[in-house]
Structure 1
Amino acid sequence: MAIREIIEVPDPRLKQVSVPVEKFDDELKTLVEDMFETMYDAPGIGLAAIQVGVPLRVLVIDLQPDDPDAEPVACDHDGHHHHHQPTKKEPRVFINPEILDPSEEHSLYQEGCLSVPEIYAEVERPARIRARWQDLEGNTHEEDMDGLMATCLQHEMDHLEGVLFIDHLSRLKRNMALKKLEKLRKVA
């Protein structure tokens, strides 16, 4: 197990389209283990393989429901960060995921991304989806999802197409976000 480097904007690799997984082997298992370790270390609630520089259609998600500080949902509404004990983990792996039947109804969530540090913005996405994916053994699963899980899966699946959550914003808002990120980097 190893923590891998998370690549950040404007790394051109984040714009790549990831390729389907064809070999469900030990190399894939190692990648997924490393992705979880990297995500928990960050900490975040979702990570796509391309974010550690591997252009494969692999996502890991753990909503860690008791931790309001985890991404993509930012801090509490009062703007204060609250730190909690680590919660029970519910790690989930999605390989070659697809979305079936996105709902007409949309929901808004404040999203963030480990590849776009410190930037949060509201993104509108279908509120409910049916997802189909494979597990580490290559078995196919289907599940209806809503709430944060639906949002998070769609956010991570965007990475597989080379799309970041800020790409959903108006050009003005996106430019403001990227300028803010540059300022934050200068301070660091």
Structure 2
Amino acid sequence: MPAQPILRFPDPRLRLPAAPVTAFDADLAVLAQDLLDTMRAAPGIGITAPHLGIAKRLVVLELPSENRVRVYVNPRLVWSSQDEREHVEGSVSMPGVTETVERPARVRVVFQTLEGVEETEEADGLLAVCLQHEIDQLDGIFWIQRLSRLKRERVIKRFQKRS
């Protein structure tokens, strides 16, 4: 499928919580493929259905160090470590700007596959960052909300200059 249009900051739909996926059917698989194609064209390493204006709890990741696509349906964080790490983050909805965000270093996520099978995964490093970032997006928390007010204002100004 061709890449789909991505919502751009400050579209208010980026701050809305996504609804759980209830139908594990061919339409869900098509949406996952659309997300993958759109993410690759952006380019990016993670994307959610809400980035396309579709309020469903669906995440697609493709990390540069891996040779695989990861799909998470209805993901939720069930544990996070007390220790934190800083990582540079950005968004396909706010291209061209990044900032350092501090998040738990390790997480455990429960999710479903495209077939509806429930799985649990523990992650650290870039995968942990991406999972937290994208689950925040599903919860209506845009990544810049994790920044101090001063950093957030600077990121917004940089983005506005690029737009």
Deviations 1:103-152 (A, max 9, x none): 00011001111111111111011100111100000001111110000000
Structure 1 partner of 2:8: 8
TM-score by length of 2: 0.97
Structure 1 partner of 2:96: 118
Deviations 1:6-27 (A, max 9, x none): 1110111101110000000111
Max radius of gyration: which structure? 1
Q: Retained in 2: the 8 A contact 1:64–1:90?
A: no
Deviation at 1:172, TM superposition (A): 1.4
Deviation at 1:2, TM superposition (A): 2.8
Deviation at 1:175, TM superposition (A): 1.0
Percent of pairs identical after alignment? 42
Number of aligned pairs?
163
Equivalent of 2:72 in 74, 89, 94: 94
TM-score by length of 1: 0.84
Provide closer, same or farther for how the CA distance between residues 53 and 12 of structure 1 changes in structure 2, counting only shifts above 3 A.
same
Equivalent of 2:106 in 128, 133, 136: 128
Unaligned runs of 5+ in 2: none
Deviations 1:70-128 (A, max 9, x none): xxxxxxxxxxxxxxxxxx74100000001122000011001111111111111011100
Q: Aligned pair 1:156/2:113, yes or no? A: no
Deviations 1:162-181 (A, max 9, x none): 11111111111111111111
- Structure 1 counterpart of 2:97, one-letter code: I
Separation in structure 1 between the aligned mates of residue 61 and residue 101 of structure 2, nearest angstrom: 18
Unaligned runs of 5+ in 1: 66-87
Segments ≥4 residues shifted beyond 6 Å: none
Structure 2 partner of 1:51: 51
